[in-house]
Amino acid sequence: MQENPSPAAPRRRRADAQRNIDALLEAAKTVFAGSGVDAPAKEITDLAGVGVGTLYRHFPQRSDLVTAVLRREIDACAEAAPALSAAHGPDEALTKWLDRYTEFLATKHGLASALHSDDPAFEALRGSFLTQLGPALAALLDTAQAAGEIRPDVSAKDLLYAIALLCQPVPGEEPAYNLRMVAVLIDGLRYRT
């Protein structure tokens, strides 16, 4: 009697397929920053150097592409916290991380709005902000608070939500306005005796 074989490991993508996905995600990130999440697919594929069919093979729905770009950005932002902490003092590491998070949200037209939409495709991503970015930010914030550089009555969750709200598009204003408002918030966090 033959035993049941163990479940097959997930298939690895071919190298060219992975390159196409990486190119599409980089191109989408760039295009979303300039034209918003509703930019034409052709604009993304032209920048990536692939055909529209390749885009839809890997990302059948627009929300799939937006989700993949956001997931990649969330991962990169979360992974930046330990490196910033190792390279800078507590206040500077926190500020640089918050600047990175702000750039991620404010400069990508429509990403913050997509996250706050009722679209169920983005529901898991909203949770990722707290489960991935929350601990990364909390570690930086705790260190800065312990050093007496940042006021103690603010949580990582408070900052994630406040900055996300400040990064919502403001009619008639460029993303620089959002970045300036977040800079005011960050300055207000600093503890002064």
Could you read off the pLDDT of 7-35 as tens digits, one per residue? 555 556 678 888 999 999 999 989 988 88
Q: How confident is the model at residue 193 (pLDDT cuts 50, 70, 90)?
A: low
Look at residue 115 in the predicted model and tell me its pLDDT.
Answer: 67
Q: Do 70-189 and 12-60 have the same topology in CATH?
A: no
Phi and psi torsions of 171, nearest 5°: -55, 130
Q: 70-189 adopts what CATH topology? A: Tetracycline Repressor; domain 2 (1.10.357)
* Predicted pLDDT at 9: 52
Break the chain into its structural domains and give their ranges.
12-60, 70-189
How far is 105 from 99, CA to CA, in rounded Å?
A: 10
pLDDT tens-place string over residues 99-155: 999 888 776 666 666 666 777 777 777 777 789 999 999 999 999 999 999 999 999
Q: Which CATH class is domain 12-60?
A: mainly alpha
What pTM was estimated for this model as a whole? 0.78
pLDDT computed for residue 78 by the predictor: 94
Comparing CA positions, the residue from 109, 85, 112 lying closest to residue 97 is 85
